[in-house]
A and B are shown apart, each in its own frame.
Chain A
Amino acid sequence: MTSPAKFIGRSVPRLEDRPLLTGQGRFAADIDFPGQWIMRVVRSPVAHGEIKSIDTREALKLPGVHTAWTAADIAHIPPIGFRLTGLKQLEAYRQPVLAQRYVRYVGEPVAVVFADNQYVAEDAADLVEVSIEPREPTLHASADLGVFDHELTSEAGVVEKAYGDVDAAFAAAHAVVALDLSIGRHTGVPLETRGAIARYDAERDVLEMHGAAKVPHWNRDTLAQMLDRATESVQLYEGHVGGGFGIRGELYPEDVLVCAAALAFKRPIKWIEDRREHLIAANHSRQQHHRIRAAIDAQGHILAIDNEFFHDNGAYMRTHAATVPDLAAAMLPGPYRVPAYRAKGHIRLTNKTPCGTYRAPGRYESTFVRERLIDAIADKVGVDKVEIRRRNLLPKNALPYALGLDTLGTHIVYDSGDYTLLLDKALSAASWDELQSDLKKRRAAGELVGAGIAMFVEKSGLGPFDTVRVEIKPDGAIEVVTGVASIGQGVETAIAQICADTLGVDYKTIAVTHGQTDRIARGMGAFASRVTVMCGEATRLAATKLRKEVLRAAAELMQTGVEALDIVDGEIVRTGGPGPSMPLAELARALPHALSAEDTFESSHMVYPYGVHIAVVRVDAETSGIAIERYMMAYDIGKAVNPKLVEGQIAGGFAQGVGGALYEEFLYDDSGEPLSVTFADYLMPTAREIPETSIILSEDAPSPLNPLGLKGAGEGGVNPVGAAIASAIDDALQRPGAVTQLPVTPQRLKRLLAGRRQSSTT
């Protein structure tokens, strides 16, 4: 980049918007192929049991029904493997593509039918008779161990992480603070349900799967392996994706089934999930129960934390394997100095929907737990919750800070940050002292109002690599090809902004191609807030190479030195002053297919943004409803490529955080029957529940790990919302430590209020 940035750092409009606004999007359900069959999954109605028989005869008699499969028909297909944190011992707990001898959750695929259209397919699925002998379900992860099969128990594994001498610290402590805390079961719930359309092209011997998302290359490689095909004979295509949030785009049994069926029947096979299926079959997340203790000195300094927890992973270990409990264990210490730490996370299986990641996986949970603990320490030593944080925060000069723990195959090293500075900014923006006196007055007048605060360190930019190719086509069009994916977050715009500034063109002239496995050999996809960091830097590297190539070629044609030329607004110009110039398109015409450059960014460490949230809530003693009056989020992401899009990420994450804090929860009855199977039971916030928020986008601590200083922005909006709201509810009730469980539903709050009345009369 020779010229100052024209696009990086500016809130330019998105390149993605126009087709989406005019109904021209291509989502999974919008894809059809002539002669396609529709697949419908028959799912277990029982939480735990042994399959006695599956009878498809009646279903097959229905006109328009072609065939049906049970496990016996696909016995050659292995279970889906692990994409991340795949401990060997967990493999025995993988999910078969169709249930074999046992069913282990309501919603588990036991058979599939194939028919001419969706209506007939659904009729046929209803006619499949499945006979199951029920077994006792295991429904509580922290209760006694249950059984997985005749050999294995319900504890699939244990995540252990530690540093320092925890026992010595507890022995020498001035006091110990111990809490018992739970986080409810909720998940991403993108507005577009899952979908997959497979077809086999016999002429090219290529299996295609459309409707891919998030990690197309890993899914391609895995599908090829599972179906015993050469990697390059399987191609995945990402269209528009209606939200990701961790859940969408992982490899699920249904994806494997459409591909296997397309190969077997030589027909395009289409599967589109309905919402009930989505709520019982796509990954759940978050449910965790912590028993946590802190050893402290007389001033409330943390000496050690001992964190034992039970992770309810549902019925099977899916693609994420131990990722969520691993992150929960590793990220719990947060922005504070914790001299000694020990985590023991029990990965427990229950007869509920299997789990995976959901935006800020392991951190929504561990931030809630840690920040509850910090509030409790404040109460124990009698200082306010801001002061206790100041006492324990890592000082600026401690960074970079090696935490002494690993996660996702990397050592955790907080790369840069000034946590106290961001706390000060947030407090000052919230007028914290005035706010306190105002709330005090209102409480004196009988209102139940209070403020809460939560701090956190996020992680982002997971490697190990991303590759980008930038090409100027003979017609002058510029294309960036990458192996990352778009899940609606604005990838194309952000990447085009970086490419535009590096190359010297308008960002609107750049097309970004992503999620197409036949366009680039490898790619890591979109997860862990990695795209702008990893793909952004790979784009800068590739565009820098291409710029050099352009100037070298232009210098030859224009008979001048490379140093005398620059690229400005897509035009090759002389730096010294007036003189003949040449549009990039003209050069591309002169040198067809020569103007292309590829580069890879490799990184073995993640980058660590950090933030502060402040919540003000009002509790209604009559209805037990909670209104969020004000909410403020300060987030330091090093460098915002497009501030408006970053704010959009934060605001969207916040709404999901509110859902998990107050409304959303997958509940089951005593037999393991799911009770949250529609949007009338699983309550996501609407425009009414989400207040206007204020966001401070801070750039005090650019990452030293990439030249633009980028850190990811996807998960800081959601991470501490449960923690901040819990802290505010405590304050409103004037009962420190009152909230021990998320979500704080009206029923739970009513119990808390009853306790409050009791304690005020005794």
Chain B
Amino acid sequence: MVSILAVDDSASMRQMVSFTLKGAGYQVREAVDGVEALEIAKNEKFDLVLTDVNMPNMNGIELVQNLRQQENYKFVPMLMLTTESAGDMKMQGKAAGATGWIVKPFNPDQLLSTIKRVLG
């Protein structure tokens, strides 16, 4: 089963993402910020990491940077949930090692079709 780590500090977004992914048959772990995500990722292996950019404690960019340095996550796709306005955020994300991004706002179908691009 494909397992996905979903990281967002907003409960409604997290629920929406998680609900959509679970509905599509993925296994989902949730984390509220980069720190928690990193902790979870150390003990479990995921096939995809979906992370918000702006979060307290550790933001999405730092999270990706940290994960990429780990042997287990060298090639794991990591997608950032970002907004159009944050153009340079995309660049920063890429520089940190993110695979790509999903532009907010997105609907469940867009989310699913986007993650299909990086899975399998």
Chain B associates with chain A: no
Interface residues of B (CB under 8 A from A): none
